[in-house]
Amino acid sequence: MDTPEAGAATGAVSRRDAGRTPPREVRAAEAGGAAPAGFPPVAEPQVALVGCTVFADPGWFPEWKTDGGGDAARLIEFAGRLCYMSFANPLGRTNRGYVENLLRQRHFSVIEHASVSVAVRGVSRSLTHELVRHRHFSFSQLSQRFVNEEEAAVVLPGEIRRAGLDGDALAAAAQAQQAYRQLAASLERGLRARVADRVARRKMARQAARAVLPNMTETMIVVSGNLRAWAGFLKKRGAPEAEPEIRGLALLVHPLLLRVAPEVFEHFRVCELEGVGWVLQTDIDFE
Ligand SMILES: Cc1cc2nc3c(=O)[nH]c(=O)nc-3n(C[C@H](O)[C@H](O)[C@H](O)COP(=O)(O)OP(=O)(O)OC[C@H]3O[C@@H](n4cnc5c(N)ncnc54)[C@H](O)[C@@H]3O)c2cc1C
């Protein structure tokens, strides 16, 4: 997942600006799953837009005639114009120009009004451990206390794939899952004497047994955040120094954000850096 296109090569050029060509939005799930018998299936990352803000003009300022933009951009313009009571648009700005000006002035709180929710699957628990550090997002993640992880898929880091060490990693995962299975079964048996409720017993067994599961275990998560939070995420996690799996996630989410608010997210460019792969760059100092 360290390149936006499966298997995309780092070109001979030292840096290729891919302009506004976003990486493939969703890498086909069927690209994964190819694991030898007895090994867990291999998951590939997938993202889906599952929610975004709808703008409802209260009609308080009939002089305001915006020239377009989606719900997010119109909400941003409305909130910005309310600050200065400039609904008559004395400078004759387009909606896109208005949002651009707000961003250039670092008037970032205005883009906090619009939000986007994204569902993510085919990513590792290592990735989500990094993702949940972004404190302005809201999360709902698959529970390893409730869900049986005996046959969970795994996510293989690109470095392991490139080195041809898939078999070693999958063997380690299969061994860990076998230990999980045995521990969960033994724990559940042992709990029968003191915990009558079967569901509670399973939860107690699974929440303890998950201790032996690897970081590469696949997980799913729904992430919601306002546009400023998403811009901050793209800036930090789309950067060359970011860990490759989460950088891949930033590259997958970018086209979804572009769909909701191109006026904001076209300020991120998809570039290919030699020796690094695909990254996101912006000249706006989002924070
Ligand atoms: C390349 C890279 C390497 C990393 N390595 C490590 C590591 O080794 N160990 C580790 O623990 N973490 C590491 N991190 C995680 C990093 O420290 C941050 O937790 C993560 O990037 C989230 O960013 P953030 O804290 O800036 O902002 P967010 O939580 O996304 O918040 C956005 C912004 O809000 C403001 N903000 C939020 N909360 C506060 C607050 N309490 N006080 C003041 N301002 C606030 C800040 O301006 C912040 O930048 C790494 C991150 C990256 C990108």
Residue 34: the pLDDT is 62
Q: Which two tokens stand for residue 111?
A: 């883009």
Asked which of 6-10, 41-45, 52-56, 277-281 is least confident by mean pLDDT, the reply is 6-10
Residue 220: the pLDDT is 98
Residue 244: the pLDDT is 97
133 CA to centre of ligand 1 in angstroms: 6
Q: What is the mean pLDDT of residues 17-23?
A: 38
Ligand 1 contact via 129 beta carbon (within 6 Å) = no
238 CA to centre of ligand 1 in angstroms: 14
Tell me, yes or no, if 237 is annotated catalytic. yes
Report which of 259, 243, 9 is spatially closest to residue 126, judged by C-alpha positions.
243
- Topology at the third CATH level for domain 15-52+115-160+215-282: Alpha-Beta Plaits (3.30.70)
Question: Going by C-beta distance under 8 Å and a sequence separation of 6 or more, which residues neighbour residue 280?
Answer: 234, 235, 238, 239, 250, 251, 254, 268, 269, 270, 271
Ligand 1 contact via 285 beta carbon (within 6 Å) = no
122 CA to centre of ligand 1 in angstroms: 24
- Contact 264/235 with Cβ under 8 angstroms? no
Count of H-run helices and E-run strands, the chain: 9, 7
Catalytic residue among 237, 247, 259, 269: 237
CA-130 nearest atom, ligand 1? 15
CA-242 nearest atom, ligand 1? 1
Task: Read off the pLDDT of residues 201-239 as tens digits, 9 standing for 90 and up.
Answer: 999 999 999 999 999 999 999 999 999 999 999 999 999
Residue 19: the pLDDT is 37
Question: Going by C-beta distance under 8 Å and a sequence separation of 6 or more, which residues neighbour residue 70?
Answer: 260, 261, 262
Domain residue limits, the chain: 15-52+115-160+215-282, 71-113
239 CA to centre of ligand 1 in angstroms: 14
Q: Nearest residue CA, atom 52 of ligand 1? A: 242
Residue 32: the pLDDT is 52
Ligand 1 contact via 225 beta carbon (within 6 Å) = no
Q: Nearest residue CA, atom 38 of ligand 1? A: 135
Residue 37: the pLDDT is 81
Q: Nearest residue CA, atom 9 of ligand 1? A: 130
Task: Read off the pLDDT of residues 112-140 as tens digits, 9 standing for 90 and up.
Answer: 999 999 999 999 999 999 999 999 999 99
Residue 11: the pLDDT is 27
Task: Read off the pLDDT of residues 161-205 as tens digits, 9 standing for 90 and up.
Answer: 999 999 999 999 999 999 999 999 999 999 999 999 999 999 999
Query: Sheet of 138-141: strands edge to edge?
Result: 46-52, 115-124, 218-226, 138-141
- Using DSSP, state whether 130 is helix, strand or coil: helix
pLDDT band (50, 70, 90) for residue 6 = very low
pLDDT band (50, 70, 90) for residue 68 = confident
Compute the mean pLDDT over every residue in the chain, rounded to the nearest whole number.
Answer: 89
143 CA to centre of ligand 1 in angstroms: 24
Q: Nearest residue CA, atom 35 of ligand 1? A: 287
Residue 20: the pLDDT is 34
Residue 4: the pLDDT is 46
Residue 69: the pLDDT is 87
pLDDT band (50, 70, 90) for residue 33 = low
Ligand 1 contact via 136 beta carbon (within 6 Å) = yes
